[in-house]
Chain A
Amino acid sequence: MKTYNFKIKRFNPSEESSPQWQEFSVQMDPMERLLDGLIKIKDNSDGTLTFRRSCAHGICGSCAMKINGKNGLACQTLIKNMPERITIEPLAAYPVIKDLVVDMTQFFMKSEEVLPYLINAETPPERERLQSKDEQQKILESITCIMCGSCTSSCPTYWSDKEYLGPAALLKAYRFIFDSRDRAFDERLGRIIHAQGLWRCHSIYNCVEACPKEIDITGHITELKRLAVKNFFKRNK
């Protein structure tokens, strides 16, 4: 057991006018997760400390927060890899509801704009549609997104322009545009090639650094840009 100092940004906007920092000292086993530390604080010191959590092993996407200045999942952050002083803040760029809980409504709405579902009106075969391994390879990384919001929250372009679709929504568009079974290519591409869509991404790579699933989001967005340009020239030949 070792003692760690958790410095947490607290805020309940319905009752307080500004955020406050509060420090807690927590006894932790090196194999424990940062999330375990937050739970210890809630259970033993301050029941009002508020955060989201569910699966506790990096697959549900609930507990994304800013940990020592970098977005990540509290359940995927092992305490032994942390310094003794840990600063924890809510994800940036989303309105705070309470403490580490942010309002993600806008974040989810962005994805809705790209028609985030497989579209194919052809009569399906009796059995599964065939998809080659190469075809699937194209979407393999993009399907691992857990919608935790770390990427969009880390994007400076999104900080300055809340109308920007953001990396998560563009990745979602990629996931369907590059799925060999999808037939809504034009419509979906049309929804992202505008000033606050694809072209607003300036390849800053913050999203890649922030992604807890290690998805090369900027790389995927670059692929989309390449496709959009190719498609433009094909149309105007």
Chain B
Amino acid sequence: MIHQFDTVIIGSGLAGLRAAIEAAKYGSVAVLTKLFPTRSHSTSAQGGIGAALGNEEPDSPEWHLYDTVKGSDYLGDQDAIEIMCEDAIRTIVELEHLGVPFSRTTEGKIAQRRFGGHTRNFGEAPVRRACYSADRTGHAVLSALYEQCKPLGINFFSEFHVLDIVIENNKCHGVIALQIENGEIHVFNAKSTLVASGGYGKVFKTTSNAFASTGDCLSILFNAGLPLEDMEFFQFHPTGLYGLGILITEGVRGEGGVLINVQSERFMERYAPAIKDLAPRDMASRAIMTEIKEGRGIDGKDYVHLDLTRIPNQVLSERFPEITTFCKIYMGIDPSEKPIPVLPTAHYAMGGIPTDADGRVLNDEKAGVIKGLYAAGECACVSVHGANRLGCNSLLDTVVFGRRAGIAMAGENKNAERGNIHRDAIDNAASLIDLTIKRKGDQRIGDVRSELQTDMMDLCSVFRNEQGLKELVSKISIIEDKAEHITLKDKSKIFNTELLDAIEFGHLINLSKVIASSALQREESRGAHFRDDFPQRDDADWLKHTFAFKKERVVEFKHKPVKITKFQPEERKY
């Protein structure tokens, strides 16, 4: 089936839906998602969305900008960060007007709480900047955006799995997708296409990410010859439930929760004397892993405790009902009575599809763009998060840059011709499915996938080094060969999730290779990327973005300078 739209959006999380609302004012919009829209992973965001509203105490966009730059370990592009922080207040007010049920202060304003790395007066002390809806902020914002899409007549294609994003002669023509329910191939010709497909945490064994977070579209674009930026920077959130990786929001530490080791010591005081447990995530994750490595894990095991018993019961039940339930269901622990075992969990990709501040996808490190192709949200790299994202800046990023991409697409669409996807591209997509289904071999998808996820976790997570990364690159290459011998049992056209698993696994392998190779080439430590063998930040050689390109079976690198406007790099202390 062939569809014609002005704008096609892949992904129905916050970035995709915010863009859809904008683009729908000027033309026809299709939103494709491999789930149902409200099942997108944005819904899992707990703690908050950042903006210097100053509802609870004085705050300013300038401080927000400084914190984000410093949090990024100076790798974030300061012009883009300034756009985000300056637009944050307007963005939150707009979300409230659209119906987001934010939690309120006693005066009825949007309530705000403390979050990691967000400070007043350039690092003095933590500030209340995160706007929240209890601990279901993502769910609240996603629901409101989806609801507001309804009266605008936006066309949703739920349970459509993207097979290809078609680029010819430096122009994006649209998307080829599989309707999961019946195995039919659909073609979406578009004037402009937005990739808002989210993250790819499933490359790691322990992750807070959903099963759907497999980075399909990044991998498709990389295979098409487009670069991926700063892929070595993957955030490990300090507090995942031990053994499960389910997230416990940083917001609990904003409300008084603390990390403790086996000696009942509040160890973050040693690592970040000024803001302690509200240190940025990269530092807190390293601190936890260091405590464990040095034998101060709880009972000699590989976890520490997150103590929420210090939070008044009423605050815990009112502001953190969801995580209280998680702890009870999954750990059998009532967090108001006992500390929770936690360990860092793969959480957020700072790297992704390089874009300008209006979401236009770059085709090289020199700011050339692809016509009609946009990206926003976690899959994109603007770059506002640099080497380490601050908590509650990701929701802000999705909504600010989703909207900007929506406006830019509407502008481009006025004078653009609709794409026209040719038969051979459709045949290629169909044969990919055919080949995957008919493939014969002795490998099972679950085994090979867990091998990849374990290797990535062991060799490419919080701490990395040359030897480990080299070993990883060669292991991934072996896994790539094994994947050629995966056999599927399900040959049906109807809701074939085994086929989707196989396609997604191909993308996971592809992205793992880019992440590992990018980590290997960056011989310094910055933000979430920490090399035991190069433990210092090296601004002289490495204050630059990585651009990874596909070159047959290997990855090739180019670099792009960081945009520095207001804040010169300095030592990052908290």
- Chain A: residues with CB nearer than 8 A to chain B? 12, 14-15, 31, 33, 39-40, 42-44, 46-48, 50-62, 76, 78, 97-98, 101, 103-104, 108, 112, 116-118, 120, 124, 126-133, 135-136, 139-140, 143-144, 146-147, 179, 181-182
B432 at the interface (CB under 8 A from A): no
A97 to B181, Cβ gap below 8 A?
A: yes
Closest residue of chain A to B136 (Cβ to Cβ) is A144
B212 at the interface (CB under 8 A from A): yes
B246 — which chain A residues lie within 8 A by C-beta?
56-57
Q: How far is the CA of A118 from the CA of B100 in the complex (A)?
A: 9
B446 — which chain A residues lie within 8 A by C-beta?
39-40, 42-44
A139 — which chain B residues lie within 8 A by C-beta?
101
B44 to A60, Cβ gap below 8 A?
A: yes
Q: Which single member of B96, B150, B212, B329 contacts A116 (CB below 8 Å)?
A: B150
B436 at the interface (CB under 8 A from A): no
A–B Cβ pairs within 8 angstroms, 11 of them: A43-B445, A46-B489, A47-B498, A48-B489, A57-B244, A62-B35, A118-B98, A124-B97, A127-B93, A133-B106, A135-B108
Closest residue of chain A to B145 (Cβ to Cβ) is A117
B497 at the interface (CB under 8 A from A): yes
B41 at the interface (CB under 8 A from A): yes
Instruction: Give the 8 A-B CB pairs with smallest separation, nearest first.
Output: A43-B446, A118-B99, A130-B108, A47-B489, A117-B147, A128-B96, A47-B498, A60-B39
Known interface pairs A43-B446, A57-B326; A97-B494 also in contact (CB < 8 Å): yes
A33 — which chain B residues lie within 8 A by C-beta?
330
Q: How far is the CA of A101 from the CA of B489 in the complex (A)?
A: 18
Q: How far is the CA of A136 from the CA of B102 in the complex (A)?
A: 9
Q: How far is the CA of A57 from the CA of B41 in the complex (A)?
A: 11
A136 — which chain B residues lie within 8 A by C-beta?
101, 103-104
Closest residue of chain A to B156 (Cβ to Cβ) is A108
State the Cβ distance, A83 to closest chain B Cβ, in Å.
18
Q: Which single member of B109, B243, B494 contacts A128 (CB below 8 Å)?
A: B109
Q: How far is the CA of A91 from the CA of B447 in the complex (A)?
A: 30
State the Cβ distance, B112 to closest chain A Cβ, in Å.
11
B490 to A128, Cβ gap below 8 A?
A: no
- Of B99, B136, B243, B489, which is in contact with the most chain A CB atoms at under 10 Å from its CB? B99
The dominant DSSP class at the A interface is loop
State the Cβ distance, A115 to closest chain B Cβ, in Å.
8
B151 to A117, Cβ gap below 8 A?
A: yes
- Chain B: residues with CB nearer than 8 A to chain A? 35-36, 38-41, 43-44, 92-93, 96-99, 101-104, 106-110, 133-134, 136, 139-140, 143-144, 147-148, 150-151, 181, 210-212, 243-244, 246, 322, 325-326, 329-330, 444-447, 488-490, 492-498
B212 — which chain A residues lie within 8 A by C-beta?
54
B98 — which chain A residues lie within 8 A by C-beta?
118
B488 to A47, Cβ gap below 8 A?
A: yes
A143-B140, A179-B101 given; 6 more Cβ-contact pairs under 8 Å: A43-B447, A48-B489, A54-B210, A58-B329, A60-B43, A128-B109
B97 — which chain A residues lie within 8 A by C-beta?
120, 124, 128-129
State the Cβ distance, A150 to closest chain B Cβ, in Å.
14
A98 — which chain B residues lie within 8 A by C-beta?
492, 494-495
B326 to A55, Cβ gap below 8 A?
A: no
Closest residue of chain A to B139 (Cβ to Cβ) is A59
B109 — which chain A residues lie within 8 A by C-beta?
127-128, 130
Known interface pairs A48-B498, A136-B104; A56-B210 also in contact (CB < 8 Å): yes
Q: How far is the CA of A155 from the CA of B454 in the complex (A)?
A: 43
Q: Which single member of A31, A53, A117 contacts B211 (CB below 8 Å)?
A: A53
A55 to B210, Cβ gap below 8 A?
A: yes
State the Cβ distance, B116 to closest chain A Cβ, in Å.
21
A129 — which chain B residues lie within 8 A by C-beta?
96-97
A12 to B211, Cβ gap below 8 A?
A: no
Q: How far is the CA of A60 from the CA of B65 in the complex (A)?
A: 32
State the Cβ distance, A20 to closest chain B Cβ, in Å.
15
Q: Which single member of A58, A61, A97, A143 contacts B39 (CB below 8 Å)?
A: A61
State the Cβ distance, B233 to closest chain A Cβ, in Å.
24
Q: How far is the CA of A12 from the CA of B495 in the complex (A)?
A: 9
Closest residue of chain A to B133 (Cβ to Cβ) is A143
Closest residue of chain B to A46 (Cβ to Cβ) is B489
